[in-house]
Amino acid sequence: MALLQQRTPAALGYMPGTTPWAPLSNEVETLEAASPGSLLMRVISSQQWGDVLGDAVWEQTTRVLADDNGTATGVVLQWGFMDDAVAGRDFRVSMRRTGDVWKVEGIERRFHCLRGVSAGGQCQ
């Protein structure tokens, strides 16, 4: 985002920015896996986030950070939208280990806006 902000000419009047994280209401709480990485891949598949690659998004990166307390956070970073207002979006998946399986606790989403973020927290 910092590079996009630097490269956007001031004369355009745009202020690229990122919306706040917001809960995503998609139902994936029933998904389970043996590891946080496997669970994140199941979430990506069930939500069809990978289906946009090559059609609407140029790049997708996934990352998982697990701690020693039985929790993990997975992120799916999508950049290069073929859109004049949205440059990208991120998903943050909170996961918890219960016994021998990992389960989804919640999902949040945010957008990276080319022209700026409105007072209501949306891409302009």
Residue 103, in any domain of the structure: yes
Average pLDDT over residues 52-59: 80
Residue 48, in any domain of the structure: yes
Residue 123, in any domain of the structure: no
User: What residues contact 22, with CB distance under 8 A and at least 6 apart?
Assistant: 108, 109, 110, 121
Residue 118, in any domain of the structure: no
Residue 13 has pLDDT above 80, yes or no: yes
Average pLDDT over residues 82-95: 92
For the chain, what is the domain count?
1
Tokens of 102: 């990992």
Task: Give pTM, 2 decimals.
Answer: 0.89
Query: Each residue of 59-75: pLDDT tens digit?
Result: 999 999 999 999 999 99
Q: What is the pLDDT of residue 114?
A: 93
Residue 124, in any domain of the structure: no
- Name the residue with tokens 């669970």: 39
Bridge-based pairing state of the strands 22-23 and 101-113: antiparallel
